[in-house]
Every structure is written in C-alpha cells, then in structure tokens.
Chains A and B, each alone.
Chain A
Amino acid sequence: MGQLSVNPDRHTVTPAAILPLVVHDLCYEIGGKHLLDGISFRTDAGPRTVVLGPNGAGKSLLLRLCHGLLQPSAGTIAWAGTAPETARRCQAMVFQRPVLLRRSTAANITYVLRLQGIPRRQRRAMTMAALEQAGLLPLAAQPARVLSGGEQQRLALTRAWALKPQVLFLDEPTASLDPAATQAVEALLDHIHRTDTKIIMTTHDLGQARRLADEVLFLHHGRLLEHAPATAFFSHPQSKEATAFLEGKLLW
C-alpha cells in the first residue's frame, strides 16, 4: 500500500488551465438586498488567496459564486475563457461542515475516484495512498460519520483533493475545530499547496490568515475593500475597516 506516492500522475492528462480567475463587477442580491456588490478582482495560479472579513461580509457567498453553485445577479466570473461547467470540473470545494457520505472512510474517497472514471482496480490503491497522506489510514474501514470533527474535515479535504482540482475552495474549513485539529488541517493544506493546487479560502481567524495567506481579499458588507499581498495587507491596511478588523474592533 505504502509504495504508491500520492497523486502519481497528476499531470499525465493535463486539462486546459482554468486560471487566472477574473471576476468583474459581480453582484448578488436577494429580495432587493445587495449581499455582494460590484466585486472585481483577478487571481492567478500560485498564491494562496484568503478571503477575510467579519461575519456576514459575503465571504462564503463569493466562494459559492466562483465555484458555480450559485448564479450571480450581475457581473461575470471568467475562468481563463473556459466554460463554467468545464471549469467546475477542475475545481473542488470543502464546506464549513463536512458533508460526508454515510459510508466508510475509504468509500468516501473511492466514490469520487469512480466519478472521475478511474478503473476499479486502481481505486483501492489510490484511496489508501490518499488516506495515508492525511493520516487517516487506520480509520479506512470506519464509518465516516463516527470520525471526530477534525478527522471528518481532513477526510473532506482529502476527498476534495482526490479530484485533482486546479483550484480548491475552502469555506471556513477550521471554524468548528480545536487547535490541534486546525493544525492538522493546515498541514494538509500546506501539502496541497505545494502540489500546485490553487487554494482560495475564507476564514475569520486572523491567525490562520497570517499563517496561510499569500494574498488577501478583504470583504466588508458585500464590498471588496482591499485586494493586496498578505504582507502588505497585514502591515499597512489601506481602509479604515480593514485597520479596525485587524485590531479586532470591527465585528459587523
């Protein structure tokens, strides 16, 4: 089992690159309420993008729109000219509360491998390799639903990664985890980042943003107030809202 490296043939079939992602004048409204308003940005392959902002800023919404789970009210989301449906097949998303299938830990991985049309005889070895990477191998036969919160999120992450996405969206992946579990998830994210998967994630945990971000999108009340490299954002925030947020004063 152990002799197989994870993702051995990541680049054997290279689908067209879907990055950069260019979002132009994106709006999303429900019942006259502008939940997102006039968002424009461009992000390239490589840097980890962290969407920061207080609760209700529209962070999760932005991720869902980019991933194609929701349709924008106005504006465009362009994936290097790729059609939205094609582009989504090159993306994966991990939700705040992991949605695991009511099956064994291993079966959660084989399920997505099967979706990708990977032959049955290869699925098992690939599943075991992926679980080993995530430190979940001893739990392979356990029902996924009885795993701890941290293990469940690691499994959700491993499953998303098994899709070999070019872009991985994460919506508050560690919001309900304890520090140790958070650390384990971040370690896994680090590994995924180093395999050239673009990470776009939301968080309201400033510490996590400092640890993980290469660039920051700062949202407030549905507007994009800042888009800057992480070092610049954390040392010299431009807007007064971002300054307040970094000082822990801006809550809503």
Chain B
Amino acid sequence: MDDFRAAFFTALGLLIGLDRDLVAIVRLSLAVSLSAVGLATVLGLPLGAAVAVWRFPGQALVRVLLNALMGLPPVVVGLVVYLLLSRAGPLGTLGLLFTPTAMVIAQCLLVTPIIAAFTRQTVTDLHEEYAEQLRSLGVGAWRTLWTLLWDGRFSLLTGILAGFGRASAEVGAVLIVGGNIHRVTRVVTTTIALETGKGNLPLALALGMILMLLVLAVNATAMVIQDTAKRVHG
C-alpha cells in the first residue's frame, strides 16, 4: 500500500508543480491520440455507414473483418507500421519513423475498425427504421448515408469515445513506431513502461493516475456536449 500512497503524493506533486517534462508528455499524448481519433472518425464513420447501408459483393466479409480488426493487437500494428515506415520499407523515404506522425498513423489504424464497426451497428439499426421513409422521399444513396450519420450522431459519439480510450491506453504501437525518445516521442504510456522497467514504481503509478484523469476528463467533456446537444436537438 505504501507504493500507492507514494504514487498518490508523487502524482499530486507532479500536477501541482506542473512539471515541465510531465506537461510535454501529457500534451503529446493528447495530441497524438486526439489526432488519431479525429482521422479515424473521418475514415470510420463513412466506412461503417457504407457497410451498413449499401449492398455490394463481399459485404459480409468486410463486416466480419471490421469486427475482427477491433481486437487488433497494438504491437502487431506497431510492427507493420514500423516495417512500412522504416528506411528499407516502401514508405521509408518519407522519414516518418520515430516521429509523432508515425504514432498517429499507428493509432489511427487501431481505432478506425472500432469506430467503423460501432458505426455499422448504429447505422444498421437506424436504417431499419428509416429505409422505407427515405425511399419514399426519394433520398439518394449518398444523402441516405449522410442523413443516417447525422441522425445517429449522439450514439456515434460513444463509439468515438471508445476509440479514444483505446488510443490513449495503448502502449505497444507507439512504443515501436515512436521509439519513446525523450522530448520527441515520449507519451504517458511509454513513460509508464519505461519507469516501471527502471523500478521507479511510484512515478509510474502516478503517471497512470494522471492518464486516467485525462481519459475521464475527455469522456466527461464529451458527455456534457452530448447531453446538451441532445436536449436541444432531440
């Protein structure tokens, strides 16, 4: 229990002192994960909705694939992105390995299937209800997609938050493609792994607490936005 108490006071000290390294690490964590989730949202929402609404060959396969990819192991994604971005890899000339951009790409790959699969489920349910009415109104294929996404926006936020949870919590992918370089690609989770390895348990635990606070804050903000918007727009 002493570890926990020490961790608590360490965390408090770090937060009150606004330790410069800590601020930089937390800021990078947020920047990387929010960018990844933003990108994954732009990709995942239309993808999920299209799989839900449009009929095309291989649709069932895509559906299974999406669900399976939700459980993608971060280290595997990290490894694949590493191979793609490494000097000898096909995208090596971009020089992205060990940069925050590489971390965004890796997390985006992890999160997109989650958002897409969640979107597919939400939009399928909504489409069941809307399909006849929209056909009656003569709504075209693209506008149907957009209508369903817009009308499902409050439910879809939950899927996006799940994606953010996954992105901010994973360590395997960012560790491999980012390299955990001090002041360049070091984020909260990689620091925790590092400090744990060094035996600096109270500091590692303190960072863990801060990470949880962070996720809590993002979720709370999203919930407030969701509730307010729901009251106003139904």
Contacts and interface: CB of A to CB of B under 8 A. Distances in A.
Interface of A: 67, 69, 88-89, 92-93, 95, 99, 101-104, 111-112, 115, 142-146, 163
Interface stretch (B44-52, B73-81, B136-144, B171-179): B136-144
Contact of A115 (B130, B132, B137): B137
B132 A103 contact: no
Contacts of B137: 92, 112, 115, 163
A133 B130 CA distance: 26
B234 A69 contact: no
26 contacts: A67-B136, A69-B132, A69-B136, A89-B138, A92-B136, A93-B136, A95-B132, A95-B133, A99-B130, A99-B133, A101-B147, A101-B151, A102-B151, A102-B152, A102-B154, A102-B233, A103-B151, A103-B233, A103-B234, A104-B233, A104-B234, A115-B143, A142-B234, A144-B234, A145-B234, A163-B137
B2 interface: no
Given A92-B137, A95-B133, 5 more contacts: A69-B135, A99-B129, A102-B234, A104-B234, A145-B234
Instruction: Give the interface SS of chain B, mostly helix, strand, loop or mixed.
Output: helix
Nearest to B134: A99
Q: What 8 A-B pairs are tightest by C-beta distance, nearest first?
A: A143-B234, A99-B133, A102-B151, A93-B136, A145-B234, A89-B138, A101-B151, A102-B234
Contacts of A142: 234
A146 B234 contact: yes
A115 B139 contact: yes
A99 B132 contact: yes
Contacts of B232: 143
B151 to A, nearest CB: 4
Contacts of B147: 101, 111
Contacts of B152: 102
A118 to B, nearest CB: 14
A163 B136 CA distance: 11
B144 to A, nearest CB: 11
A146 B138 CA distance: 26
A15 B168 CA distance: 57
Nearest to A107: B233
Contacts of B130: 99, 101
A144 B234 CA distance: 7
Interface string B125-168: 00001101101111100010001000110100000000000000
A93 B137 CA distance: 8
Contacts of A88: 136, 138
A144 to B, nearest CB: 6
Contacts of A104: 233-234
A241 to B, nearest CB: 29
B214 to A, nearest CB: 31
Contact of B233 (A89, A111, A143): A143
A37 to B, nearest CB: 23
Contacts of A101: 130, 147, 151
B153 to A, nearest CB: 8
B60 to A, nearest CB: 23
Contacts of B233: 102-104, 143
A115 B135 CA distance: 12
* Most B CB within 10 A of own CB, among A95, A115, A145, A163: A115
A101 B137 CA distance: 12
A115 B138 contact: yes
B123 to A, nearest CB: 13
A146 B136 CA distance: 23
A142 B130 CA distance: 20
Contacts of A163: 137
A57 B38 CA distance: 52
